[in-house]
Amino acid sequence: MTAPRRTLKALGVSAAVAGAAAVSALVAERAALQSLRRRVDPDANELHALPFDTARRVPTVDGGSLATTARGHGPPIVFSHGVTIDSRVWIKQFASLPAEGVRTIAFDHRGHGDSLVGSTGHSLENLAGDLRTVLETLDVRDAVLVGHSMGGIAVQAFALRHPAVLHERVRGIVLLSTLAKTTVSAARPLRGLAERVTAAFDLRALMAHPDLGLLFARVGFGRQPVASQVELNRQMLAACATATAREATAALLQLDLVPELPSLDVPTLVIGGTADVITPPHESRRLAALIPGARLEMLEGAGHMIMLERTAVFHRLLLDFARDVGALPATAGAA
Q: How confident is the model at residue 210 (pLDDT cuts 50, 70, 90)?
A: confident
Whether the per-residue pLDDT at 45 is higher than 90: the answer is no
Interval 12-33 mean pLDDT? 46
Q: Which of 75, 221, 56 is nearest to 145 (CA)?
A: 75
Q: Report the percentage of the chain scoring pLDDT > 90.
A: 73
Q: What is the predicted pLDDT for the residue at 254?
A: 84
* Strand-strand pairing, 143-148 and 170-176: parallel
Question: Could you say which architecture CATH assigns to the domain 54-324?
Answer: 3-Layer(aba) Sandwich (3.40)
The helix-helix angle for 188-200 and 242-250 (nearest 10°) equals 170
> Comparing 128-142, 222-236, 295-309, which segment has the lowest mean pLDDT?
222-236
Q: What is the predicted pLDDT for the residue at 181?
A: 96
Q: What is the predicted pLDDT for the residue at 31?
A: 60
Q: Which of 126, 88, 87 is nearest to 248 (CA)?
A: 126
Whether the per-residue pLDDT at 2 is higher than 90: the answer is no
Q: What is the predicted pLDDT for the residue at 184?
A: 57
Q: What is the predicted pLDDT for the residue at 7?
A: 45
The 3-state DSSP class for residue 198 equals helix
For the segment 278-291, what is each residue's pLDDT rounded down to a tens digit?
Answer: 999 999 999 999 99
Q: Which has more confidence, 202 or 103?
A: 103
Interval 260-264 mean pLDDT? 98
Cβ atoms of 161 and 128 within 8 Å: the answer is: yes
Q: What is the predicted pLDDT for the residue at 46?
A: 86
Strands of 295-299's sheet, edge to edge?
Answer: 54-59, 65-71, 103-107, 76-80, 143-148, 170-176, 268-273, 295-299
What is each CA distance from 307 to 273, 297, 326, in whole angstroms? Answer: 11, 14, 22
Q: How confident is the model at residue 29 (pLDDT cuts 50, 70, 90)?
A: low
Q: Please count the other Cβ atoms lying within 10 Å of the Cβ belonging to residue 48.
A: 11
Whether the per-residue pLDDT at 145 is higher than 70: the answer is yes
Interval 324-335 mean pLDDT? 78
333: left (phi over 0), alpha (psi -120 to 50) or beta: left
For the segment 175-193, what is each residue's pLDDT rounded down to a tens digit?
Answer: 999 999 997 544 454 455 4
Q: Measured between alpha carbons, how far is 88 from 308 in angstroms, rounded to an integer? A: 11
Q: What is the predicted pLDDT for the residue at 20?
A: 40
Angle at 204 between CA 36 and CA 53, to 5 degrees: 80
Q: Measured between alpha carbons, how far is 187 from 182 in angstroms, rounded to an integer? A: 10
Q: How confident is the model at residue 48 (pLDDT cuts 50, 70, 90)?
A: confident
Question: Which residues have a Cβ under 8 Å from the Cβ of 132 and sit 6 or more positions away?
Answer: 158, 162, 165
Cβ atoms of 281 and 272 within 8 Å: the answer is: yes
Q: Measured between alpha carbons, how far is 49 from 69 in angstroms, rounded to an integer? A: 12
Q: How confident is the model at residue 27 (pLDDT cuts 50, 70, 90)?
A: very low
Q: What is the CA radius of gyration of the chain?
A: 22
Whether the per-residue pLDDT at 47 is higher than 50: the answer is yes
Q: How confident is the model at residue 21 (pLDDT cuts 50, 70, 90)?
A: very low
Q: How confident is the model at residue 204 (pLDDT cuts 50, 70, 90)?
A: confident
Cβ-count burial of 160 within 10 angstroms (0-12 exposed, 13-18 middle, 19+ buried)? Answer: middle
Cβ atoms of 283 and 179 within 8 Å: the answer is: yes
DSSP string, 109-169: PTTSTT-B--TT-S-HHHHHHHHHHHHHHTT--SEEEEEETHHHHHHHHHHHH-HHHHHHH
